[in-house]
Amino acid sequence: MAKWRLATATLRRQLQSSSPTISTFKNPTKALSAAAHQSTRSYSTTQTDDSRGKWLTLPPFSPTIDGTAVGKDLLSDGDSVKSSTDNSKTTALRWILRCRPDLPRTLVQKLFRLRQVRREMSMSVDGDELQRSQLKRVAAKESLNVGDRIYLPLSVDNDTPQTPPAKKESFQCSDEERKFVCSLVLYKDPAIIVLNKPHGLAVQGGSGIKTSIDELAASCLKFDKSESPRLVHRLDRDCSGLLVLARTQTAATVLHSIFREKTTGASAYGVKKNVKSLKRKYMALVIGCPPRQRGQISAPLRKVVVDDGKSERITVNDNGELVSTQHAITEYRVIESSPHG
């Protein structure tokens, strides 16, 4: 938490700066603030009427953050962060779908087959001045350069279904619930929200669960964002503690990668020294006292179905079965014990 508090000023400066490069990802705070900055961009189309005819003009192409690559870089050795030009490339098809998510993919692919999509390349003259090229046909899989524009025929708006898909009815919070959920917020910046999750409250909805944090967050914790916070990890219903929510899609991708890669260096022989594994700390009240005051538990874990398929449980895979397992390393320390065990 100290890193996030110290980064408040950095967040403000980062949000006002230009697009970040991969070199900023050595610092997790800068990486997530960069993710927040990039995901707040809004893409719009404009109509152009000139000698080349009428077109729907998409915004100039600009590279976005590869959240998965960022998460892996944050967990690797800080000196080994590499810049990849591939992350700054995207195809014409992907850029259209990103700028116009309302257009059906089949319609966009049809436009490419009919050769009705145009590209205007941005070229540098004398190192500084930018010059636009003539409109040329572009293929769906052609890579775009920074500054390139894509033009679509005006007819695409007529071919797009006007009836929006039915939206799931959103969860409605009472004033008391809204005040309670907001009181759980311990930290908030443009990229994440950290909650003090109470005991007994489920993180994600499901059968038999009336209220969950993901529903409450979608209704009460948007603040200045148009999108709802997203879950990036979970805590058991009976567990209290810090719960991190991503405020943007890009931040969620970065954090998902971090949590997914957290055990990359874990094996039966320990954790590799050059891997910065994500660490979780828990305080638990248990029955019985370990014979040693501190130690390490290293074991392969697997998920089993219990209660006639109604729920799942994590258990140690100590019978040598050829099932999907994940090695986990737990370091424990006894804080205090009672005379009653």
Burial label for 70, CB within 10 Å (0-12, 13-18, 19+), is buried
3-class DSSP assignment, residue 246: strand
Which tokens belong to 278?
Answer: 């994500």
Which tokens belong to 100?
Answer: 């116009």
The interaxial angle of helices 8-16 and 28-39, nearest 10 deg, is 40
**Is the Cα torsion angle 163, 169, 173, 174 positive or negative in sign?**
positive
Which tokens belong to 174?
Answer: 């009472």
Positions marked catalytic: 236
What is the Cα–Cα distance from 64 to 253, expressed in whole angstroms?
A: 12
Indicate the residue type of 29: T
Which residue, chain included where needed, has tokens 């729907």? 56
Helix (H) / strand (E) element for 187: namely strand 185-188
The DSSP letter of residue 78 is G
CA distances from 158 to 61, 104, 289 (A): 25, 12, 71
**Residue 197 · residue 231 · CB < 8 Å:** no
**Residue 256 · residue 240 · CB < 8 Å:** no
What is the Cα–Cα distance from 248 to 20, expressed in whole angstroms?
A: 16
